[in-house]
Amino acid sequence: MSEPVGPLDSLRYPRFAGPRTFARLPLLETVERADVAVMGAPFDGGTSFRPGARFGPAAVREASLLLRPYSEPLDLLPFARAQVADAGDAGPDPLEIGAAHATIQARAAELHDSGARVLGLGGDHSVALPLMRAAAARHGPLSLLQLDAHADTWDEYFGHKLSHGTVMRRAVEEGVLDPHASVQIGLRGPLYAASDLEDNAALGFRTLLARELDATGVAGAVGLALERLRSPVYVSVDVDVLDPAFAPGTGTPEPGGLTSRELLAILRGLAPAGLELAGADVVEVSPPYDPTGNTALAAAAAAYDLIGLMVLGQRPRHGST
Amino acid sequence: MSEPVGPLDSLRYPRFAGPRTFARLPLLETVERADVAVMGAPFDGGTSFRPGARFGPAAVREASLLLRPYSEPLDLLPFARAQVADAGDAGPDPLEIGAAHATIQARAAELHDSGARVLGLGGDHSVALPLMRAAAARHGPLSLLQLDAHADTWDEYFGHKLSHGTVMRRAVEEGVLDPHASVQIGLRGPLYAASDLEDNAALGFRTLLARELDATGVAGAVGLALERLRSPVYVSVDVDVLDPAFAPGTGTPEPGGLTSRELLAILRGLAPAGLELAGADVVEVSPPYDPTGNTALAAAAAAYDLIGLMVLGQRPRHGST
Amino acid sequence: MSEPVGPLDSLRYPRFAGPRTFARLPLLETVERADVAVMGAPFDGGTSFRPGARFGPAAVREASLLLRPYSEPLDLLPFARAQVADAGDAGPDPLEIGAAHATIQARAAELHDSGARVLGLGGDHSVALPLMRAAAARHGPLSLLQLDAHADTWDEYFGHKLSHGTVMRRAVEEGVLDPHASVQIGLRGPLYAASDLEDNAALGFRTLLARELDATGVAGAVGLALERLRSPVYVSVDVDVLDPAFAPGTGTPEPGGLTSRELLAILRGLAPAGLELAGADVVEVSPPYDPTGNTALAAAAAAYDLIGLMVLGQRPRHGST
Amino acid sequence: MSEPVGPLDSLRYPRFAGPRTFARLPLLETVERADVAVMGAPFDGGTSFRPGARFGPAAVREASLLLRPYSEPLDLLPFARAQVADAGDAGPDPLEIGAAHATIQARAAELHDSGARVLGLGGDHSVALPLMRAAAARHGPLSLLQLDAHADTWDEYFGHKLSHGTVMRRAVEEGVLDPHASVQIGLRGPLYAASDLEDNAALGFRTLLARELDATGVAGAVGLALERLRSPVYVSVDVDVLDPAFAPGTGTPEPGGLTSRELLAILRGLAPAGLELAGADVVEVSPPYDPTGNTALAAAAAAYDLIGLMVLGQRPRHGST
Amino acid sequence: MSEPVGPLDSLRYPRFAGPRTFARLPLLETVERADVAVMGAPFDGGTSFRPGARFGPAAVREASLLLRPYSEPLDLLPFARAQVADAGDAGPDPLEIGAAHATIQARAAELHDSGARVLGLGGDHSVALPLMRAAAARHGPLSLLQLDAHADTWDEYFGHKLSHGTVMRRAVEEGVLDPHASVQIGLRGPLYAASDLEDNAALGFRTLLARELDATGVAGAVGLALERLRSPVYVSVDVDVLDPAFAPGTGTPEPGGLTSRELLAILRGLAPAGLELAGADVVEVSPPYDPTGNTALAAAAAAYDLIGLMVLGQRPRHGST
Amino acid sequence: MSEPVGPLDSLRYPRFAGPRTFARLPLLETVERADVAVMGAPFDGGTSFRPGARFGPAAVREASLLLRPYSEPLDLLPFARAQVADAGDAGPDPLEIGAAHATIQARAAELHDSGARVLGLGGDHSVALPLMRAAAARHGPLSLLQLDAHADTWDEYFGHKLSHGTVMRRAVEEGVLDPHASVQIGLRGPLYAASDLEDNAALGFRTLLARELDATGVAGAVGLALERLRSPVYVSVDVDVLDPAFAPGTGTPEPGGLTSRELLAILRGLAPAGLELAGADVVEVSPPYDPTGNTALAAAAAAYDLIGLMVLGQRPRHGST
């Protein structure tokens, strides 16, 4: 089997030049098949406060220009071990959430059917629903690691069942994810009622609040995650899990969040367990609120580590390591 | 009848202090009734490119803090001649355009029923539809002056009849506005096809392109407007009629637009004709794309002149002048 | 007694709509009386470097739109347990500090006289003086918790006794606060002389430097605070206590500061002690230097926790919990 | 007499390097005497809305790095024909307007006494008062050309006689300027009352509104100016005379203003008349509201032309041309 | 021959989704050949003041998402009449200007050899040299229309012959362009000496200063251009020809420039003459200085009109019109 | 010997006024000689991604206005114990890296020859090479503490030996620094290959990755540094050692970095060892990417501590302490 096509060589072709694919990787259509497909889900019609995440995939790709091929923490050349490609964007209807989700789900399903694991770039958090549906349709009910300031398990919003704040409840109801094999890390901020967390727990989720991280440390968070997760895993990173200092460009920012060092350490902490990642997403990057580009930068770094985890968790198909 | 309650006195109570009502005017609920009601329509779910106009009403109110009570070009104290009040925002469903429009229309109708003329602050241009419906329900088919870079008369978008690009066609179809008594000024930018303008003309609209303004001057634009308009008039100001230098913070900016001096001169040019304004709107202010606040500032200035026109065009109810 | 009027329901009326009161709470004038009153003190004429804090109250209110009614860390529904209301802004003379302080003090005194605890939103730190005077006039000499990068105990500045850097010395001299029952946390940055800290200690203040927090942790800071504080307490949060990464929009930023997680943990750490809070402030938010809005966001979060502490520390008046 | 010391040579020493003096000119202290002295007046305590102009002189100097030594429209090498130097900043008390003005006036008087004409960089418009006082003390009552959106002839503000909105009335009352030999160009925006302009006219000022410029053109504005002005002239440029598109970074922006091309054409239009400029200022540049730097850039260009006018209007002292 | 492949349909696939090719056109490699090729030249190592133009091509492509297929002023469907494609970026060495120019020239030559006309997106203005060399190699000495604030005909800078300020002199020396058939429009700003313009004229250039446009109007500028130009023409648009209000994001901004309406009217004014455009460029877009994106937006609009002119000026190859 | 001339007194002369020298210190030319000279090296032609660091020295000086004369952590009045002065900027050729380095090296050598220690302000990291060469020429091979996200020990880039990513390898090859007495702290981010770190180690460097800091703490980092360093030391602070939350304005940001509290604590941790600092630099501050100014602020704080270390490490020459 042929060697994976990797990113452009930045020592010969400068980073600021060339197409804005994720990490300067080839477009999927030019490599035929991929082990990991990065797919944009540029939809923000499910957002309750600040919109803008429809420009998230483009911003994350722009920020990903700085990514290089070797992951030191994972001791891995993800783009050499597997074929990683940019599958472009689904083209969701911006005016109707149901239709938008259908387009995203169809595109993700197509990618899963081709044998790829799908890393979705949001978009608001509502896009995690079609992404998880497609992953579960291929891999079975998912064990979820959700890194997020909010549980996203409200029942409805303005009478609607679909929004960025209800997505995880929908996924549980549909059997797409197994809450008992799921963990939420980073929750914080004022809630509507004490019952918000109780209802969330009643659904089956296990939760580590951002403020609890002061006591547990990253190691505690990783420990909790590994205690609950089982393959196939889906990791959903809502960038608002980060403190606004690290990720101002998001729809519903909450002070008191994680540092980017903590977020990356948690993701990398999963590596030794060899879990199989069926899919993942990085969502809620809203470029118009991100004047420094820090949010997209942190999202790109998280996406890179998620790709690493996907590659580590797959059964090897390429001979090289 | 009692004297109108005017804005806070900025020589005693500084402009940066106090509630963010339009022009520091009283809230409608504190004055019982109003001749002119400024009403926010914070909805941007009908937008095809950059969202953010849901924060438009708040930004225009913030920018309106600098407005003072005397309009020199109109030689008018609008807030003394009539009771102008801030009616707050309609609370539109952010997730579904139909429900959102219904909420906006209901609130506007309520205000019209109370005898007020309504100045709507958008929101994307789709909110003009419920605003015009409410105005027409009270005043009959409207004669429209549309200041805009785009005709907004496409038939559909992604299969949907409602969006910020289809609003004027819908209004014609519904009999809400009379295109033969309507004028569009400022259109420009690449189109989908030559038929875009032909279809628009076939609907009955008369159009003055932005580039034609170089030849006609403001006087020509005013002349055209006065030739076509008849009471009751509705004026819809999409801030993208301005060049992006004057209004960068908007959903679909187009270079080659009007200056703020031209826009204001056109509005003021209507004054001598004594037209009755049934309603008006200023839409498409998107604060996350407006780092200088210039867009909101220009929008507030336009809104101020629209209020002046409303006051001039009404039959006097207050004794004072 | 009637139930407190709480914030607008964001599941029915979207957050981006409606008036910009703190946390979408009712205006004081619409509820007659309040247990806690949030009051703006938009004055920045006491600032020595970057101005702009006159727009602080408006920015903090805008940032507070995201606050929800339940505080998980305090296990409290602050807006249900007590009537919290937005008292609007004092209207300080922008041109003369003495007159400005008088206006702020008078308004705060009025609120205290009505039985409310007052949470002031600055404004530069000089506004803490009239706010503390009003609180002390009602509650007696105050025990101060000052979260700040600077001690603010210089004697004068340009020959003036009133400025944002001299406010705490003035308060001690006037007997408004009891330095021996007071703690300053977060001090750092270069000083004029070693005597700055010695003089500060000589006044009676106990100080924990930002860099000492590395050794003590949040627990040490809380321990120190609880060791010194006694009711009635006044908490003054100068947002420059935060590192500029978390709060760039402030008058005199100092690298090496606290994270928002640390600040919030310290505030919440006071809860178990049941201290009575006579008043509090959050000051030095300068919106023109806050392009991401992070500073206002962190300030709003601190203000929310201060309200929680005020509610916890009061003798209950409403039957409900 | 020795040749004037000019700016650093940008073809040898790059523009981004070196000290931030105006136009890279020598500091006054290094050349002993100057024909024209550029002096900062970094005070913004007289401002009623947005502060920040205290950082104006620094921003205008930074923007002036691009200025080159030959003025094509004036056909003049201003820095070769006369010694132009940067006199640094007066160090005004930021806390009290009277003291601040005294410091600015003293420094300007010192420069006038040394034989220099003084170009002041504000600061808010209140600094024009001490600058004009110093110029008039040396040269007699001034003929004023005021380029401004506002007349600045209100009587008081918050009970104070000194502020950025009252400065021109004070100067008339003190005999510092002769309103009958003065012209104001660019006024616009809502006013407090019709009497604002009547009172202004009653003081003796002749006014050309911004909107009247559409009819008169630049030529008409120049004609009016030359009809009224007589030596010694003082030119005061409030950058808010420009439309916010050209100068967003200012304290009280008003839409509908001049373009930078119009402003510069008016200034250059004065050249043929050979008027003697006793002094000038460029004020109200507020860098925190100027994310693009456009305002400072336009201000630097205006300052450059004012220097040209000063040089043209002086009796030659250097032999060279 | 097959129909040209046009841009993605934005009524079905939203503008914020998909790859960032110019105007959403196909990549050249997917259509084999093109009549017009848009090629990035992301190099800014020739800049003397503000860098950043290396990110210009990416920003112009992002801004071009809003372009639609029909040009109303030219009554032309440029993407239907000819195959227009995005040729991606040359990959210039960021560290050495000579090597960078060689890469850009080689890539442009390749495109010219394939029969395409090349529209280059800079990059600083130095990239016009290799672009013109490649065009002249194919089409013979060029007749230049330069829209620019600066003549760019200095001889050297820091002892170097290559920089963004010397490019037009080099092109004349090399016989790449014929100055006697060339026109420069928009020049302004202080110069090093009167000889700058004299030397420029001595080279053969005809010049219309920005300030002269007030007298000639756009018609005069077009008249001058048509008087001088002859096929093959090369049009070089330095975005600093625009006033900073319209194009703040550029390396050496100059107040007093053109409006975007003027720039576009001049370009469109060339259409009736049927000139053959051998090549064109739009340069000096520096995204880090363009917080509103206005500069890239104006550049994209100019590029669109240049494509229109290229299509109009070619001998038809496709049957369709 | 005379007392050192210190900074302007900010209690009398406000911080926003006056020349932009580092920490408001005197220019070197006004004090004849200095123990520590702060020197700008405004060159960014060695950068591979985002340029802009040529404006770094100016931005760091602006940010340094807030520095006061007493360092509490070092218990030192650095500007009283030694003469610290601002030596202005070297004037490097912006177009050719070799020439630029020569200019910087010559200026630094001049300062070293006068007996000063030199603190360089970059500029991109390539300027550390001429700065280190000059220091080593005077003091012998240097022991390096490099605080950086990247090792900067690649061999070449685009075939060039000089760039901001190859500077440390060059310095080793030239014998300018002794890698066996050197430490790199803060490295992180994806690499080109595992060999990047191996090659770096093979050169002799000892490295502490940013992620390892979680385990070692600041104390471990300081311990490692003190274990390796020996006089004369050179400290090179690339601001990208900080997380982008703390330093967004830099050429190649990497998430997962240090906090400013950690950086300052590491620098201060060196104080007790009494090492002699031959030179230091703070580089890669890119103002166009620093909308909050946080990056420059953190750089100024680091520079202040480096001056403190220089003063502590020198043999006393002034009598005062």
Domain positions in chain D are: 22-313
Structure tokens at A86: 């940019």
For residue range A82-140, list pLDDT tens digits in order: 999 999 999 999 999 999 999 999 999 999 999 999 999 999 999 999 999 999 999 99
pLDDT of amino acid B315: 59
Inform me whether the C-beta atom of residue A272 falls under 8 Å from chain C C-beta atoms: no
Structure tokens at B259: 């200056």
Identify the CA nearest to B166 among candidates B120, B203, B125, B137.
B125
Report CB contact under 8 Å: B19, C20.
Answer: yes
pLDDT band at D317; cut points 50, 70, 90? very low
Cα torsion through C211, C217, C222, C228, rounded to 10: -50
Query: Mean pLDDT across the stretch F76-105?
Result: 97
Mean pLDDT of chain C: 95
What is the distance between the alpha carbons of residues C73 and B246, in angstroms, rounded to a whole number? 46
pLDDT band at D32; cut points 50, 70, 90? confident
What are the C-alpha distances in Å from F252 to residues A15, F47, F94?
11, 9, 20
Beta-ladder partners of C235: C145, C280
Q: Report the CATH number of the B22-313 domain.
A: 3.40.800.10
Share of chain A above pLDDT 90, in %: 96
What are the C-alpha distances in Å from B53 to residues A14, A63, B252, C17, C60?
37, 26, 11, 11, 21
Is residue B127 classed as helix, strand or coil in its secondary structure?
Answer: helix
Beta-ladder partners of A184: A146, A207
Q: Provide the phi-psi class of E52: left if phi over 0, else alpha when psi is between -120 and 50, else beta.
A: left
pLDDT band at C315; cut points 50, 70, 90? low
Inform me whether the C-beta atom of residue F255 falls under 8 Å from chain A C-beta atoms: yes
Structure tokens at F192: 């080109």
| Residue to substitute from E153, E207, E243, interface D, most D β-carbons within 10 A | E243
F174 near F133, Cβ under 8 Å?
yes
Distance from CA of E156 to the nearest CA of B (A): 34
What is the distance between the alpha carbons of residues A171 and A132, in angstroms, rounded to a whole number? 8
What is the distance between the alpha carbons of residues A25 and C63, in angstroms, rounded to a whole number? 39
pLDDT of amino acid D315: 59
Identify the CA nearest to D56 among candidates D309, D307, D293.
D293
Query: Which of A 62-121 lie inside 8 A of E, CB atoms?
Result: 62, 88-94
Nearest CB partner across the interface for F71, out of C156, C190, C214: C190
The torsion angles phi and psi of B115, rounded to 5 degrees, stand at 95, 5
Nearest CB partner across the interface for B91, out of C13, C54, C58: C13
Query: Mean pLDDT across the stretch A7-27?
Result: 95
C173 near C161, Cβ under 8 Å?
no
pLDDT for E315 beyond 80: no
What is the distance between the alpha carbons of residues C20 and E302, in angstroms, rounded to a whole number? 42
Distance from CA of A168 to the nearest CA of C (A): 17
* B8-12, B207-211, F141-145, F166-170: least confidently modelled range: B8-12
Neighbours of F161 (CB within 10 A): 14
Inform me whether the C-beta atom of residue D48 falls under 8 Å from chain B C-beta atoms: yes
D225 near D181, Cβ under 8 Å?
no
Inform me whether the C-beta atom of residue F293 falls under 8 Å from chain C C-beta atoms: yes
Nearest CB partner across the interface for B264, out of D193, D256, D290: D256
What is the distance between the alpha carbons of residues D37 and B254, in angstroms, rounded to a whole number? 44
B68 near A68, Cβ under 8 Å?
no
Sheet holding F117-122, edge to edge: F84-89, F36-41, F117-122, F277-283, F233-238, F143-147, F183-187, F206-209
Q: How far apart are the first and last CA of chain E?
A: 14
For residue range B8-37, list pLDDT tens digits in order: 999 899 999 999 999 999 999 999 899 999
Report CB contact under 8 Å: A291, B289.
Answer: no
What is the distance between the alpha carbons of residues D65 and D61, in angstroms, rounded to a whole number? 7
Inform me whether the C-beta atom of residue C14 falls under 8 Å from chain B C-beta atoms: yes
Report CB contact under 8 Å: E17, A89.
Answer: yes
> How many CB pairs below 8 A link A and F?
99
Distance from CA of D214 to the nearest CA of B (A): 9
| Residue to substitute from D9, D15, D16, D103, interface F, most F β-carbons within 10 A | D16
Q: Is the ipTM of this complex over 0.90?
A: yes
B254: which chain E residues are within 8 Å (Cβ-Cβ)? Answer: 66, 301
Inform me whether the C-beta atom of residue F10 falls under 8 Å from chain D C-beta atoms: no
Strands (E), F94-155: 117-122, 143-147
Structure tokens at E48: 């003397």
For residue range B161-178, list pLDDT tens digits in order: 999 999 999 999 999 999
List, in sequence order, the alpha helices (H) in D25-96: 28-31, 56-63, 78-81
Describe the crossing of helices B97-113 and B128-139 by its angle, rounded to 10 degrees.
30
Identify the CA nearest to D148 among candidates D175, D182, D119.
D182
| Residue to substitute from E44, E158, E286, E295, interface D, most D β-carbons within 10 A | E158
What is the distance between the alpha carbons of residues E100 and E92, in angstroms, rounded to a whole number? 4
A249 near A288, Cβ under 8 Å?
yes
What is the distance between the alpha carbons of residues E40 and E319, in angstroms, rounded to a whole number? 29
| Residue to substitute from A72, A243, A307, interface F, most F β-carbons within 10 A | A72
Q: Provide the phi-psi class of C205: left if phi over 0, else alpha when psi is between -120 and 50, else beta.
A: beta
D158: which chain C residues are within 8 Å (Cβ-Cβ)? Answer: 93-96, 99
A88: which chain E residues are within 8 Å (Cβ-Cβ)? Answer: 18-19
| Residue to substitute from C50, C243, C262, C297, interface F, most F β-carbons within 10 A | C243
pLDDT for F160 beyond 50: yes
One DSSP character per residue, B30-80 reads: HHS--SEEEEEE---TT-SS---GGGHHHHHHHHGGG--SBBTTTTB-HHH
Nearest CB partner across the interface for C51, out of D54, D93, D163: D54
Structure tokens at B90: 């309609």
- Identify the residue whose tokens are 């997020």: A148
Counted residue by residue, chain A has a size of: 321
Nearest CB partner across the interface for C51, out of D44, D97, D162: D44
pLDDT for A318 beyond 60: no
Report CB contact under 8 Å: B46, A95.
Answer: yes
Report CB contact under 8 Å: D65, E49.
Answer: yes
pLDDT band at F1; cut points 50, 70, 90? low
Nearest CB partner across the interface for C190, out of F68, F265, F298: F68
Structure tokens at A114: 């081709």
Is residue E72 classed as helix, strand or coil in its secondary structure?
Answer: coil
Bigger pLDDT: B213 or E318? B213
What are the C-alpha distances in Å from B120 to residues A224, B87, C16, D271, F60?
52, 10, 16, 48, 46
For residue range E61-111, list pLDDT tens digits in order: 999 999 999 999 999 999 999 999 999 999 999 999 999 999 999 999 999
For residue range D262-296, list pLDDT tens digits in order: 999 999 999 999 999 999 999 999 999 999 999 99
Nearest CB partner across the interface for A91, out of E13, E57, E291: E13
Structure tokens at C160: 């003036």
Identify the CA nearest to F230 among candidates F159, F142, F132.
F142
Containing F257, the helix (H) or strand (E) segment is none
Containing A193, the helix (H) or strand (E) segment is none
Which residues neighbour E93 within 8 Å (Cβ) at sequence distance 6 or greater? A14, E99, E100, E103, F158, F159, F160
Inform me whether the C-beta atom of residue C40 falls under 8 Å from chain B C-beta atoms: yes
Inform me whether the C-beta atom of residue A248 falls under 8 Å from chain C C-beta atoms: yes
Describe the crossing of helices B260-269 and B294-313 by its angle, rounded to 10 degrees.
10
- Residue range F22-141+234-313 in CATH 3.40.800.10: yes
Q: What does pTM read for this prediction?
A: 0.97
Distance from CA of B206 to the nearest CA of E (A): 16
Nearest CB partner across the interface for D95, out of C50, C52, C158: C158
For residue range E140-173, list pLDDT tens digits in order: 999 999 999 999 999 999 999 999 999 999 999 9
Inform me whether the C-beta atom of residue D161 falls under 8 Å from chain C C-beta atoms: no
What are the C-alpha distances in Å from F183 to residues A69, F177, F230?
25, 11, 11
Report CB contact under 8 Å: A192, C68.
Answer: yes
Distance from CA of E93 to the nearest CA of F (A): 6
Report CB contact under 8 Å: D214, B292.
Answer: no
Neighbours of F175 (CB within 10 A): 12
A31: which chain E residues are within 8 Å (Cβ-Cβ)? Answer: none
What are the C-alpha distances in Å from D13 to residues C67, C228, E150?
54, 59, 20
Report CB contact under 8 Å: E291, F288.
Answer: no
Strands (E), F221-300: 233-238, 277-283
Mean pLDDT of chain B: 95
What is the distance between the alpha carbons of residues D181 and C150, in angstroms, rounded to a whole number? 52
Report CB contact under 8 Å: B95, A94.
Answer: no
Question: Looking at chain F, which subunits does it touch, using at least 3 CB pairs closer than 8 Å as the criterion?
Answer: A, C, D, E
Nearest CB partner across the interface for A70, out of F156, F194, F248: F194
Inform me whether the C-beta atom of residue C156 falls under 8 Å from chain D C-beta atoms: no
The CA-based diameter of chain F, rounded to the nearest angstrom, is 57
The torsion angles phi and psi of B218, rounded to 5 degrees, stand at -60, -35
Inform me whether the C-beta atom of residue C217 falls under 8 Å from chain F C-beta atoms: no
Q: Taking the CA atoms of C293, C298, C299 and C303 in sequence, report the sign of the dihedral they define.
A: positive
Report CB contact under 8 Å: B18, C88.
Answer: yes
Inform me whether the C-beta atom of residue E212 falls under 8 Å from chain A C-beta atoms: no
Identify the CA nearest to D272 among candidates D74, D102, D131, D132.
D74
